[in-house]
Amino acid sequence: VEENMRTLRTLMGMVPGYVGFLARFGSKFGVAEGQLKPVFEEIKARGLMFIDSGESGSGAMARIATEMVLPKAVVDIHLDRTPTEGEIASKLLRLGALARSQSVAVGMGDPYPHTIRELKNWLAAQSPTKLRLVPVSAVADRQIIQ
Protein backbone atom coordinates (compact mmCIF):
# COMPACT_ATOMS: atom_id res chain seq x y z
CA VAL A 1 0.00 0.00 0.00
CA GLU A 2 2.78 2.44 0.89
CA GLU A 3 4.55 1.86 -2.42
CA ASN A 4 1.29 2.41 -4.32
CA MET A 5 0.73 5.67 -2.47
CA ARG A 6 4.27 6.91 -3.16
CA THR A 7 3.85 6.07 -6.84
CA LEU A 8 0.45 7.78 -6.96
CA ARG A 9 1.75 10.97 -5.37
CA THR A 10 4.79 11.01 -7.67
CA LEU A 11 2.62 10.62 -10.77
CA MET A 12 0.15 13.27 -9.62
CA GLY A 13 3.05 15.68 -9.14
CA MET A 14 4.39 15.07 -12.66
CA VAL A 15 1.29 15.66 -14.76
CA PRO A 16 -0.80 18.86 -14.71
CA GLY A 17 -4.40 19.37 -15.75
CA TYR A 18 -6.00 16.02 -15.03
CA VAL A 19 -9.47 15.70 -13.49
CA GLY A 20 -9.31 12.12 -12.28
CA PHE A 21 -8.14 8.59 -12.77
CA LEU A 22 -9.28 5.95 -15.24
CA ALA A 23 -9.36 2.28 -14.30
CA ARG A 24 -8.50 0.46 -17.48
CA PHE A 25 -8.20 -3.20 -18.47
CA GLY A 26 -9.23 -4.48 -15.03
CA SER A 27 -6.70 -5.78 -12.53
CA LYS A 28 -6.24 -7.57 -9.25
CA PHE A 29 -5.59 -4.13 -7.76
CA GLY A 30 -9.14 -3.18 -8.58
CA VAL A 31 -10.62 -5.88 -6.38
CA ALA A 32 -8.12 -5.50 -3.52
CA GLU A 33 -10.22 -3.20 -1.35
CA GLY A 34 -7.42 -2.68 1.18
CA GLN A 35 -5.15 -1.32 -1.55
CA LEU A 36 -7.84 0.61 -3.35
CA LYS A 37 -9.36 2.60 -0.49
CA PRO A 38 -6.21 4.61 0.38
CA VAL A 39 -5.78 5.48 -3.31
CA PHE A 40 -9.41 6.58 -3.58
CA GLU A 41 -9.07 8.59 -0.35
CA GLU A 42 -6.12 10.46 -1.88
CA ILE A 43 -8.01 11.05 -5.13
CA LYS A 44 -11.04 12.33 -3.22
CA ALA A 45 -8.93 14.58 -0.96
CA ARG A 46 -7.54 16.26 -4.07
CA GLY A 47 -11.01 16.89 -5.50
CA LEU A 48 -10.53 14.46 -8.38
CA MET A 49 -12.86 11.85 -9.86
CA PHE A 50 -12.76 8.17 -10.77
CA ILE A 51 -13.61 6.94 -14.26
CA ASP A 52 -14.62 3.29 -14.44
CA SER A 53 -13.75 1.76 -17.81
CA GLY A 54 -16.47 -0.84 -17.40
CA GLU A 55 -13.89 -3.54 -18.03
CA SER A 56 -13.18 -6.66 -16.02
CA GLY A 57 -12.72 -6.04 -12.32
CA SER A 58 -13.72 -2.40 -12.42
CA GLY A 59 -17.24 -2.97 -11.04
CA ALA A 60 -15.82 -3.40 -7.56
CA MET A 61 -13.98 -0.12 -8.01
CA ALA A 62 -17.20 1.71 -8.91
CA ARG A 63 -18.94 0.20 -5.88
CA ILE A 64 -16.17 1.35 -3.54
CA ALA A 65 -16.13 4.81 -5.17
CA THR A 66 -19.88 5.06 -4.58
CA GLU A 67 -19.52 4.01 -0.94
CA MET A 68 -16.79 6.62 -0.45
CA VAL A 69 -18.82 9.34 -2.22
CA LEU A 70 -16.00 9.77 -4.73
CA PRO A 71 -17.20 11.55 -7.89
CA LYS A 72 -17.29 9.05 -10.75
CA ALA A 73 -18.33 8.26 -14.28
CA VAL A 74 -18.61 4.89 -16.01
CA VAL A 75 -17.70 4.31 -19.65
CA ASP A 76 -20.83 3.16 -21.46
CA ILE A 77 -19.31 2.43 -24.85
CA HIS A 78 -15.74 1.76 -25.99
CA LEU A 79 -15.59 3.33 -29.43
CA ASP A 80 -12.61 1.62 -30.97
CA ARG A 81 -11.89 -1.81 -29.58
CA THR A 82 -12.12 -2.74 -33.25
CA PRO A 83 -10.56 0.39 -34.77
CA THR A 84 -12.29 0.40 -38.14
CA GLU A 85 -14.24 3.36 -39.48
CA GLY A 86 -17.48 1.38 -39.77
CA GLU A 87 -17.26 0.00 -36.25
CA ILE A 88 -16.42 3.40 -34.75
CA ALA A 89 -19.25 5.10 -36.65
CA SER A 90 -21.66 2.42 -35.43
CA LYS A 91 -20.53 2.86 -31.82
CA LEU A 92 -20.92 6.64 -32.08
CA LEU A 93 -24.50 6.18 -33.26
CA ARG A 94 -25.16 3.92 -30.26
CA LEU A 95 -23.51 6.46 -27.93
CA GLY A 96 -25.72 9.25 -29.27
CA ALA A 97 -28.86 7.13 -28.87
CA LEU A 98 -27.88 6.28 -25.31
CA ALA A 99 -27.21 9.94 -24.49
CA ARG A 100 -30.60 10.95 -25.86
CA SER A 101 -32.42 8.23 -23.91
CA GLN A 102 -30.55 8.71 -20.59
CA SER A 103 -29.52 12.39 -20.85
CA VAL A 104 -25.87 11.41 -20.49
CA ALA A 105 -23.51 8.79 -21.92
CA VAL A 106 -19.76 8.29 -21.67
CA GLY A 107 -17.71 7.03 -24.58
CA MET A 108 -14.04 6.17 -24.54
CA GLY A 109 -11.68 5.98 -27.48
CA ASP A 110 -7.99 5.92 -28.18
CA PRO A 111 -6.32 8.56 -30.36
CA TYR A 112 -6.30 6.40 -33.48
CA PRO A 113 -6.58 8.38 -36.73
CA HIS A 114 -9.82 6.52 -37.61
CA THR A 115 -11.32 7.34 -34.20
CA ILE A 116 -10.52 11.03 -34.43
CA ARG A 117 -11.77 11.25 -38.03
CA GLU A 118 -15.04 9.45 -37.24
CA LEU A 119 -15.57 11.56 -34.11
CA LYS A 120 -15.12 14.77 -36.13
CA ASN A 121 -17.59 13.54 -38.76
CA TRP A 122 -20.12 12.48 -36.12
CA LEU A 123 -19.85 15.77 -34.22
CA ALA A 124 -20.31 17.79 -37.41
CA ALA A 125 -23.59 15.94 -38.02
CA GLN A 126 -24.99 16.61 -34.51
CA SER A 127 -27.32 19.43 -33.58
CA PRO A 128 -25.64 21.35 -30.74
CA THR A 129 -29.02 21.86 -29.09
CA LYS A 130 -29.69 18.12 -28.93
CA LEU A 131 -26.29 16.58 -28.22
CA ARG A 132 -23.04 18.03 -26.92
CA LEU A 133 -19.56 16.69 -26.37
CA VAL A 134 -18.42 17.63 -22.86
CA PRO A 135 -15.47 16.70 -20.65
CA VAL A 136 -16.02 13.62 -18.52
CA SER A 137 -15.86 15.83 -15.42
CA ALA A 138 -19.14 17.44 -16.54
CA VAL A 139 -20.99 14.14 -16.15
CA ALA A 140 -19.55 13.01 -12.82
CA ASP A 141 -22.30 11.34 -10.79
CA ARG A 142 -24.96 12.11 -13.43
CA GLN A 143 -25.30 8.63 -14.93
CA ILE A 144 -27.86 5.98 -14.17
CA ILE A 145 -25.57 3.23 -12.92
CA GLN A 146 -26.95 -0.25 -12.48
86-134 pLDDT tens trace:
999 999 999 999 999 999 999 999 999 999 999 999 999 988 778 889 9
Residues 12 and 52 placed together within one structural domain of the fold:
yes
Q: Is residue 111, in this structure, part of any structural domain at all?
A: yes
Q: Is residue 137, in this structure, part of any structural domain at all?
A: no
Residues 100, 130 contacting (CB under 8 angstroms): yes
Neighbours of 51 (CB within 10 A): 27
Average pLDDT, integer, range 74-79 = 95
At 12-56, the pLDDT tens digits run 999 999 999 998 765 555 557 788 899 999 999 999 999 998 876
- What integer pLDDT is reported at residue 109 of this predicted model? 95
Residues 21 and 66 placed together within one structural domain of the fold:
yes
- What is the domain extent for residue 32? 2-74
The residue among 27, 58, 74 that closes a domain is 74
Q: How far, in Å, are 3, 22, 37, 38, 135 from residue 42 at the CA level?
A: 14, 14, 9, 6, 22
Neighbours of 130 (CB within 10 A): 9
The residue among 74, 91, 124 that closes a domain is 74
Q: Is residue 60, in this structure, part of any structural domain at all?
A: yes
If residue 37 lies in a helix (H) or strand (E), which one and from where to where?
A: helix 33-45
End-to-end CA distance of the chain: 30
Number of structural domains (the chain) is 2
Q: What is the pTM of this model?
A: 0.86
Residues 9 and 67 placed together within one structural domain of the fold:
yes
Q: How far, in Å, are 33, 36, 50 from residue 5 at the CA level?
A: 14, 10, 16
Q: Is residue 141, in this structure, part of any structural domain at all?
A: no
Give Cα 71 distance to the centre of its chain.
11
Query: Rounded to whole angstroms, how far apart are CA atoms 113 and 111?
Result: 6
Q: Is residue 30, in this structure, part of any structural domain at all?
A: yes
- What integer pLDDT is reported at residue 144 of this predicted model? 77
